[in-house]
Structure 1
Amino acid sequence: MSIAPSLDFRSSAPAAARVAALREEAAAPLDPVPTQSVKQTQIIAIYGKGGIGKSFTLANLSYMMAQQGKKVLLIGCDPKSDTTSLLFGGRACPTIIETSTRKKLAGEQVAIGDVCFKRDGVYAMELGGPEVGRGCGGRGIIHGFELLEKLGFHDWGFDYVLLDFLGDVVCGGFGLPIARDMCQKVIIVGSNDLQSLYVANNVCSAVEYFRKLGGNVGVGGIVINKDDGTGEAQAFAEAVGIPILASIPADEDIRRKSASYQIIGQPGGPWGSLFETLAANVADAAPHQPRTLTQDTLLGLFKSDAVGRNVVLEPATMEDMCGVSAVTRPSLEVVYDEAV
């Protein structure tokens, strides 16, 4: 930038000349500000009932995204630490919490290579959790994310970060991405069964609650896994106001390949187009503000013979509880007469 020489305002130069010099300096073009391209990362939290197929869906989704040229990080946030097992052909991945504990006892620092591993362009890690009966899984999740921040999580340059969360548990740690706006949107994996849709409804309830408190996370949509065509999950999606991102059929070929830790989300494969569509829909899904269903409304999505809605609640009596006729016993409470 061309800068006019500095002026000594104590000089006797005419005021008009000083004003002209200042205007010339102000009109000089500015040097361009150095800029650095910052990659906008989509952080997506995936929730669903345990065993519904989140890990299967995410392993194939992340693999397809990587084959499409995207840089993808898959983080397992389930104490079972099984999110990455399909991706790595059944091999267990060392967890962040386990590795951190071991390194701390040895007086060493955790490095990226200790906890993050890759396959065909997909980067993956497991947060892990405490041993059974020795701690809170939700607290373990919080601790795991604290360790990720120390490893530079906010500086990593990924196109997508996919977080696999167990939806059955409603304690604070498992709701972290929604409560603290750690992700832009939530994806639900469900099926045509009451329990998975109960979990899906809980996730919608959490999103609705935190948005009322000023949060910004929304639900991108639902992936229907093991879709047998009965339609309950579709009815749920319509009732709460979220789109269906994909329907993965209840197919024997998919079941066998998943059980043998085979990736089916490959371009050109028999199921490739399904996961190509899912990848595009997940990327483009807008964060919706869902409605939450009451328990009765949720049950209403199913036939009465499937969920037992014909059962009538019959109140129990004290005779039922004691097994004999209840005897009225005098109270042991001391009652004082009012003072005269």
Structure 2
Amino acid sequence: MSTRNQTASAAFSVDQLKRQLRDEAGVEPDAPSTEPATKETQVIAIYGKGGIGKSFTLANLSYMMAQQGKKVLLIGCDPKSDTTSLLFGGRACPPIIATSSAKKAAGEQISISDVCFKRDGVYAMELGGPDVGRGCGGRGIIHGFETLEKLGFHEWDFDYVLLDFLGDVVCGGFGLPIARDMCQKVIVVGSNDLQSLYVANNVCSAVEYFRKLGGNVGVAGMVVNKDEGTGEAAAFAEQVGIPLLSSIPANDDIRSKSANYEIIGYPGGQWADMFDELGRNVASAPPVLPTPLEHDALLGLFKGDEVGRNVVLEPATEADMRGVNVVDKPSLEVVYDEV
């Protein structure tokens, strides 16, 4: 082919491409759908003081929700990696962080089947965390979620994703769902004791703070665990403006079965109605903006002899601290007389 013909052919190809692009640009796009979304995943972060019963509550809640026909993913976000142990009869899932490190060292890629396991419709995994003194637990949580994103977290198809977070600290990775709008709502687990309600109040304060910065996460309510009927947790929920989703009684049968890694939130069981109601309440409760309490108001929920409000704070002196006679030295500060 001559050079002239090659040039003409190239010009024709360019003109043809331009016409095709114009034709494509002239095609009207499909009208946006006005139908309701077929599925919207609710991501719910559950916070509470260490040892208050979050893992017990979540294992039974997730199990019951699955029996209600929901597709549920339970993710443990506590360095102890104990969220899934009750669900699997005492066996916990291999932590994502440790598994990822081992796979990387072996030159292999981590996969879903390495870290996610299922039982009776509940899918579960643990983020894990570093050993004591070998890293920051909060940073470990962030690394864990980065790994989840690489595994396709945002493309997974679940009705509910339940995140089990340690509530004693709401900084760094532990505050991730609230600070970065990674969930739609928060649930707090507490009891009728000052320390667990302090943690619940701290979580409410974090939600309030990030809402002021433009965040969208709210608190959907509170679960009272080991409820012996003294009423402090219910009074707290009322004062901060969040609903009570369930009260799990302080009961020997519940305690012993939990200690033996037995699920009690199953249809037809003694505690079926309680967890069935909790599952429906968790699903339907809207996120609200709480009004956290000042410390004195929190103390006011308890009797004076229980929290030491009758104790007088006596200021210490320099002599107390040094154990010797303290010489009063004149200050070099310049003090101006008032005009």
| TM-score (normalised: structure 2) | 0.87
Equivalent residue for 1:302? 302
Contact 2:83–2:92 (Cα < 8 Å) also in 1: no
After superposing the two structures, state which structure 1 stretch, 33-42 or 73-82, moved more: 33-42
Residue type at the aligned position of 2:142: I
Tell me what 2:254 maps to.
254
The match for 1:314 is 314
User: Which residue matches 1:154?
Assistant: 154
For 1:164-215, what per-residue CA distance to the aligned partner results, in whole angstroms no more than 9, with x for missing partners? 0000013211010001111000000000000000000000000000000111
> Structure 1, residues 64-120: CA drift from partner, whole Å, max 9, x if none?
001111100000000000000000000121010000000000111110000000001
User: What SS is found at the alignment partner of 2:141?
Assistant: helix
The answer on 1:214 being equivalent to 2:209 is no
The alpha-carbon distance between structure 1 residues 36 and 295, as it changes in their structure 2 partners (threshold 3 A), is: closer
Find the counterpart in structure 2 of residue 197 from structure 1.
Answer: 197
The amino acid that maps onto 1:155 is E
- Using the TM superposition, give the Cα deviation of residue 38 of structure 1 relative to its aligned residue in structure 2, in angstroms: 4.8
Asked whether 1:173 is paired with 2:173, we answer yes
Q: Deviations over 1:34-85 (max 9, x none)?
A: 9996521000000000000000000000000011111000000000000000
1:329 to partner: Cα distance = 5.7
Paired residue secondary structure (2:222): strand
Point out where structure 2 has 5 or more consecutive residues left out of the alignment. 1-27, 335-339
Aligned partner of residue 245 in structure 1, secondary structure: strand
Could you say which residue in structure 2 is the equivalent of 1:48? 48
Paired with 1:157 and 1:180, the residues of 2 have a C-alpha distance of 21
Q: What displacement does 1:290 show? A: 0.2
- Equivalenced residue count is 306
Match of 1:201, SS? Answer: helix
Amino acid at match of 1:69: G
Cα RMSD of the aligned pairs, angstroms, is: 2.1
Shift of 1:283: 0.3
In the alignment, structure 1 residue 269 sits paired with structure 2 residue 256: no
Task: Trace 1:84-233 onto structure 2 (pairs within 5 A).
Answer: 84-233=84-233
The code of the aligned residue for 2:262 comes to Q
- C-alpha spacing 1:30/1:294, structure 2 compared with 1 (3 Å): closer
CA shift, 1:325, in A, is 2.2
Q: How much has 1:319 moved relative to structure 2? A: 1.7
User: Aligned partner of 2:127: which letter?
Assistant: L
Query: Partner amino acid for 1:252?
Result: D
The whole-number CA distance in structure 1 between the counterparts of 2:193 and 2:156 is 38
Q: C-alpha offsets along residues 260-298 of structure 1, whole Å, 9 cap, x if unaligned?
A: 000000111000000000000000001010001111010
1:212 corresponds to which letter in structure 2? K
1 CA distance for matches of 2:90 and 2:290? 36
TM-score by length of 1: 0.86
- The reply on whether 1:65 has 2:65 as its aligned counterpart is yes
Distance between the aligned counterparts of 1:264 and 1:291, measured in 2?
A: 33
Q: CA deviation at 1:328?
A: 3.7
